[in-house]
Structure 1
Amino acid sequence: MNKAEIPIFDGHNDVLFRLFQAGGRDHATSFVTGRDGHIDLIKATSGGLAGGFFAIYVPSPVDLALKFELMTQDSYDLPLPPAVDLSDALPIALQQAVILVELETLGALKICTSVNDIRSCMQSGIMAAIMHMEGAEAIDADLYNLDIFYRAGLRSLGLVWSRPTIFGEGVPFRFPSTGDIGGGLSEHGIRLVKRCDELGIMLDMSHLNEAGFWDIAKHSTKPLVATHSNSHVLSPHARNLTDRQLAAIAESDGMVGLNFAVAFLRADGKMLADVHYDVLLRHLDHLIEHLGEDRVGLGSDFDGAVIPEDMGDCAGLTSFRNAMYAHGYNDALMTKLCHANWMRLLAHNMG
């Protein structure tokens, strides 16, 4: 295998939401034939993207153009969107779950519920997908829906996106800022954490505020994970992780996936795409320094963010791997960062 072809297992993408926006299940074939956006099978094959976490995401009524414009300023503080009711969230979540099932029916991927499933897919060249939920708005207070989604394949869950739920509070898109904003988990949230631990559903802390982070650290018996977050020292955004949080993740033998979203990479926090690979590599170096080389991976946020223009889409992962090699990462470290660390981490949760 060419060095630049080491397969990548990615910590986060939003392609299900984009397919939902484009027309739902009937639009799923575009994932196979080619689509505008960051991920489809053609681009994934070119870039060596072997699979990852496919997020189910319920949107808020946000003007994205205005949001991105505000995030090009020297500082910004976008208010948290209001909570989304269960009755509104559940149908949207189910539609995106159906899109993922349709992609499996089309032979585009396989929904994986174990590390052995993922390894088998990588060996056979089939894209491996973990069903993830970004924000638990579709989960009821009694957690009945959690068990149903688990039976459908859900193996990863973020209690919040950047808005409140009945379980906890997310961080706003605020720069400069820490994530120490708002209160901790509710009683419902603590019960959700414990039930996820019982079922083997990984908890993702990427959009959670600091109080919620420390509550999960207190109540979960599993490694702490942020699937798509970066270093607060290098980019002081509310979405990023402080060195104290990184220390807790390392102590739990958890993991962080490097987020390609430019606002969380840049020192100035701006949503501008003129970001070069040296910026991503500085974040990787910092994460490796504080977490160790066994606890760092990639968590692109493909189809959910503005990513560096040097990469463009997931086909650009080949050029990014080349940059990682040029930076001095050897074969063993590259294999860990590209997929092996995710496999190790998931074995703690899914088996």
Structure 2
Amino acid sequence: MTDFPVFDGHNDLVLRLLRGDVTADAVASGLSDGHIDKPRAQKGGFGGGFFAIFVPSPGDKAARHDEMRDPPYKIALPDQISEAVATDWTERGFDAMADLAAAGAVRICRTATEVEAALPAEEMAAVIHIEGAEAIDRDFEKLEAWHARGLRSLGPVWSRDTVWGHGVPFRYPSDPDVGPGLTDAGKALIRECNRLKIMVDLSHLNAKGVEDVARISDAPLVATHSNAWAVCPHSRNLTDRQLAMIRDSDGMVGINFASAFLRPDGRMDSEFDLDIVLRHFDHLVHCLGEDRVGLGSDFDGALVPDKIGDCAGLPSLLTALRSHGVDDGLMTKITHGNWLRILRQTWGE
């Protein structure tokens, strides 16, 4: 199934470098843990994707995951991150991306044409994404500077509030209609992203924030790593109303592999069959159409299904899709074609 290279909506490999868990050279040569490295990418047909620069919240992620093993749960939003702390992390994130490129692990891409050319290459095609815009200043000088360094995608929030807007907490069962939407500054940020042709990511925004982006943005609406609320009623997933807004904008959604956002019971448990992923796929295709669904794994940032495991396990998912009736044309769209379409449309190519 590696005849269909996967361009993926989201991964958190950069965070592993920033925390000192791995080095760029080790990513290029091979790792013993995690989800992504160059040898496994080549084995599994992982052609690349959006590489997130993310500022983690203080606290114990493992404790949050433990709480999510036993629904229902209602986990409070983490505290806000200061602009100074976020700026330091983000600058180091750009340096980490440069290190990955220098090590031959990735090829940083600024255009859809570059992404398409890189997909068959040895290096992973990497689009730089910022997840949570705490580091952006109100005058947008850093946004301009980072765009010049390759920034092409941005999520105004992670699951915590920022000066730009409000994120969804980790709650099950819950819909995403939690709290107010974008602030006035956040609305200005969306307009500035439109001007610079930076893709705006709806993942982690609450319902009112998504509606604000839909009213303001002149670009397709995109959720890089989100699932169908109708299948799993988790606050992080997209309702049919939100999916209709995305469809009407000719946008798209990348299916998130995070177990708690896939499983209908909302449990943080990775032992389940891939037919649950296929249920999300079916619902998204029903609501959005075949041209608006892709993959958004959240590799290195989520507990993914055991039957995928890591990026080398992507052929297991593609085989399941094939057995589900997905032909070559639709497989091409899901694995990378739909992402290329969105990138061209959003970036003005």
Q: Structure 2 length normalisation: TM-score? A: 0.98
Are the aligned partners of 1:141 and 1:166 in contact in 2 as well (CA < 8 Å)? Answer: no
- CA drift of 1:108 comes to 1.6
Partner of 1:314: 311
Residue 144 (structure 2) pairs with residue 147 (structure 1): yes
Deviations 1:180-207 (A, max 9, x none): 0011111110110000001010000000
Name the residue aligned to 2:9. Answer: 11
**2:27 equivalent in structure 1:** 31
Q: Hey, what does 1:283 align to over in structure 2?
A: 280
Q: Per the alignment, in what secondary structure is the counterpart of residue 156 of structure 1?
A: strand
- Aligned 8 A contact 1:255 1:297 in 2: yes
Rounded to whole Å, the distance in 2 between the matches of 1:187 and 1:144 is 18
Aligned match of 1:21 = 19
CA positional deviation for 1:107? 1.9
SS at match of 1:29: helix
Alpha carbons 2:38, 2:123 under 8 Å: kept: no
Give the counterpart letter for 1:148 in structure 2: A
Q: In the TM superposition, what is the alpha-carbon distance from 1:260 to its structure 2 partner?
A: 0.2
1:262-298 Cα deviation digits (max 9, x unpaired): 0000011010011211000110011000000000000
Question: Moved runs in structure 1, 4+ residues, more than 2 A?
Answer: 123-126
Partners of 1:183 and 1:127 lie apart in 2 by 38
Deviation at 1:125, TM superposition (A): 3.8
Q: What is residue 100 of structure 2 aligned with on the other side?
A: 103
Amino acid at match of 1:29: D
Aligned-partner Cα distance in 2 for 1:75–1:239: 14
What corresponds to 1:230 in structure 2?
227
Provide the rounded CA distance (Å) in 2 between the counterparts of 1:68 and 1:126. Answer: 32
Pick aligned residue for 2:68 from 44, 66, 71: 71
Is the 8 Å Cα contact of residues 4 and 322 (structure 1) preserved in structure 2?
A: no
2:201 corresponds to which residue?
204
- CA distance in 1 between counterparts of 2:104 and 2:118 reads 12
Q: Which residue of 1 aligns with 2:55?
A: 58
Offset, 1:4: 4.5
Question: What is the rounded CA distance, in whole Å, between the counterparts of 1:326 and 1:154 in structure 2?
Answer: 37
Equivalent residues of 1:132, 1:157 under 8 A apart? yes
DSSP 3-state at the match of 2:291? coil
> Partner residue of 2:213?
216
Verify: 1:82 aligned to 2:84, yes or no: no
- Any conservation in 1 of the 2:24–2:105 contact (CA below 8 Å)? no
Q: Structure 2: where are the runs of 5+ without partners?
A: none
Q: 1:134 aligns with which of 128, 131, 136?
A: 131
Amino acid at match of 2:18: F
Distance 1:275 1:240 in 2: 19
CA distance in 2 between partners of 1:66 and 1:235 (Å):
22
Question: Structure 1: how far apart are the matches of 2:195 and 2:333?
Answer: 27
CA RMSD, Structure 1 to Structure 2 (Å): 1.0
Which TM-score applies when normalising by structure 1? 0.97
Secondary structure of the equivalent of 1:294? helix
Offset at residue 23 of structure 1 (A): 5.5
Separation in 1, partners of 2:47, 2:24: 18
Superposed CA deviations along residues 26-66 of structure 1, whole A, max 9, x for unmatched, are: x2111111122000001101100001000000000121121
- Counterpart for residue 112 of structure 2: 115
Match of residue 294 from structure 1: 291
Question: 5+ unaligned residues in a row in structure 1: which ranges?
Answer: none
Structure 1 residues 124 and 4, CA, compared in 2 at 3 Å: closer, same or farther? closer
| Cα distance in structure 2, aligned partners of 1:42 and 1:133 | 25
CA apart distance, 1:299: 0.1
Give the match's secondary structure for 1:11: strand
One-letter code aligned to 2:24: A
1:260 aligns to what SS in structure 2? Answer: coil
| CA–CA separation in structure 2 for the residues paired with 1:159 and 1:30 | 31
How do residues 338-349 of structure 1 correspond to structure 2 at under 5 angstroms? 338-349=335-346
Give the one of 179, 187, 192 matched to 2:189.
Answer: 192
Q: Aligned in 2, Cα 1:307/1:124: closer, same or farther, shift over 3 Å? A: closer
Measured in 2, the distance between the counterparts of 1:222 and 1:12 equals 19
User: Which whole-Å deviations, capped at 9, do the CAs of 1:82-109 have from their partners, x for residues lacking one?
Assistant: 1100011110111111110111112221
* TM-aligned CA deviation for residue 74 of structure 1: 2.1
